Amino acid sequence: MTSYLFTNGRVLDAQNAALVDGLDVLVEDSEIREVSDTPIRTNAEVVDLRGKTLMPGLIDCHVHVNAGLVNIGANAMLPSSLAALRAARIMESMLQRGFTTVRDLGGADLGLVHAVEEGLIAGPRLIICGKALSPTGGHGDFRARSDDRDGDFRGRTGSMSRLVDGVDAIRRASREEIKAGAQFIKLMANGGVASPNDPIHMLGFSVDEMKAAVEEADNAGFYVSAHLYTDRAIARAVDCGVHSLEHCNLIRPETAKRAAAKGCIAIPTLVAYEGLALDGEALGLGPESVAKIETVRKGGMESLSIMRDAGLPMAFGSDLLGGLMKYHSMEFEILARVLTPAEIIASATTVGAKLCRMEGKIGTIAHGAFADLIVVDGDPYADITLLTGDGAHMPAIMARGQFQKNALN
């Protein structure tokens, strides 16, 4: 049995937005066995924090671990073995930035989940929806207008979506993804940037199709997540029972209030548009997509204050593709233009844990929680940039009770 005793530091209490002095934290195997304000007597290896901050591992609730390329069409056509190996490298880099749990929003499969759990690859805990469901011509359809190939690329590891049209097809696809290990269902319910044929205002799926997906997810004890930008699309999705609202750049106050009243959670992903604006074209994003970036980029900052003022919880998300993943940590800096460090840290811990339906297990330092921990050189409530820099300010990162990085000694 591997055990560690963290002592002589401050422990971040994300629930109360506070740092607590004088706590000992005992880790045994993959769990936190004890948190005590009196010294713990144990034979565990002592980890002297030397005044640093111990905090829960970060949670990113919108990633695409299999997106090794910005061009999603080219990524879908990669040999599946190559896409999987690139995914392993991507997940390892996420872990080294302090993200110990990530929620994949289209593409990752049960094999990648098992590979992490079995220790075959180093990576964060992985929550998956399988393939995202997209209507023909929607955000998950990467084919050019003149491309009349069958759009079913779900068998390819590099494909993030599958094309589904009609209520019966939605039911079957939802059941197939759940059978294959999905823990929620993802719908492409609005136009998008990285796809060639769907303008931002375009609505994806009919009301009946969305309600069918919601029913099938609910039957299995899960929920539906939807890709959404416009206020009209968000309002429609909320009315259909969608729980997880991705992006929400163009949301308006009344819709935000309705979503909050329904118990929804939003996941802004503002760094995705910054990255696309900086490097998207150079990394293979098509001209049709480049032209759409500013439409959603401009509204993103305003959406943060709208959702906060409406009481709509926000979970941390990045949504970066391929070479843009180097900007992962920048999301903290962008959020800090509007939100407080306490709000940002909650988004990447307690709110993320709630969305992943793993409250008490991730996003917290408490008895029985998973030993997913990071050590930070200072107080992130005073300086949120300590969570940036690709882990430069994190001398230690632990996942499942094992150090993935340890520069404390």
Q: Report the CATH number at residue 367.
A: 2.30.40.10
The answer to whether residues 262 and 372 belong to one domain is no
> What is the C-alpha separation between 353 and 344, in angstroms, rounded?
14
Angle at 120 between CA 225 and CA 399, to 5 degrees: 65
Q: Determine, yes or no, domain membership for 334.
A: no
Contacts of 41 (CB under 8 A, 6+ apart): none
b/e burial code for range 333-353 (CB count within 10 A of at least 16 → b):
bbbbebbebebbbbbbbbbbb
Of the three residues 328, 345, 373, the one that is the final residue of a domain is 328
Segment among 42-51, 135-144, 385-394 with least mean pLDDT: 135-144
* DSSP code string of 12-26: EETTTTEEEES-EEE
> What is the C-alpha separation between 135 and 5, in angstroms, rounded?
51
Q: Determine, yes or no, domain membership for 172.
A: yes
- Residue 17 pLDDT greater than 80, yes or no: yes
> What is the C-alpha separation between 402 and 389, in angstroms, rounded?
22
Range of the domain at 46: 3-57+360-406
Contacts of 81 (CB under 8 A, 6+ apart): 157
The answer to whether residues 151 and 50 belong to one domain is no
The answer to whether residues 126 and 23 belong to one domain is no
Q: Determine, yes or no, domain membership for 182.
A: yes
The answer to whether residues 43 and 174 belong to one domain is no
Q: How do residues 222-243 score in pLDDT, each as one tens digit?
A: 999 999 999 999 999 999 999 9
Residue 208: count of CB within 10 angstroms of its CB: 11
Q: Determine, yes or no, domain membership for 212.
A: yes
For residues 144-152, average pLDDT: 74
Q: How do residues 157-214 score in pLDDT, each as one tens digit?
A: 889 999 999 999 999 999 999 999 999 999 999 998 877 788 889 999 999 999 999 9
Residue 54, helix vs strand vs coil: strand
The answer to whether residues 52 and 176 belong to one domain is no
Of the three residues 328, 351, 372, the one that is the final residue of a domain is 328
Model confidence band, residue 1 (pLDDT cutoffs 50, 70, 90): low
Of the three residues 308, 328, 348, the one that is the final residue of a domain is 328
> What is the C-alpha separation between 355 and 66, in angstroms, rounded?
21
- Residue 145 pLDDT greater than 80, yes or no: no
Q: Determine, yes or no, domain membership for 205.
A: yes
The answer to whether residues 18 and 72 belong to one domain is no
Q: Determine, yes or no, domain membership for 339.
A: no
Identify which of 213, 201, 223 has the alpha carbon closest to the alpha carbon of residue 267: 223
Question: What's the pTM?
Answer: 0.95
The answer to whether residues 109 and 78 belong to one domain is yes
Scanning 44-122, the segments in alpha helix (DSSP H) are 72-76, 80-96, 110-117
The answer to whether residues 275 and 395 belong to one domain is no
Q: Determine, yes or no, domain membership for 345.
A: no
> What is the C-alpha separation between 39 and 313, in angstroms, rounded?
36
The answer to whether residues 133 and 14 belong to one domain is no
Model confidence band, residue 361 (pLDDT cutoffs 50, 70, 90): very high
Task: State phi, psi for 302 to the nearest 5 degrees.
Answer: -65, -35
Q: What is the CATH number of the domain that holds 272?
A: 3.20.20.140
> What is the C-alpha separation between 394 and 383, in angstroms, rounded?
13
The answer to whether residues 77 and 42 belong to one domain is no
The answer to whether residues 247 and 141 belong to one domain is yes
**Count of structural domains, the chain:** 2
Q: Determine, yes or no, domain membership for 251.
A: yes
The answer to whether residues 278 and 365 belong to one domain is no
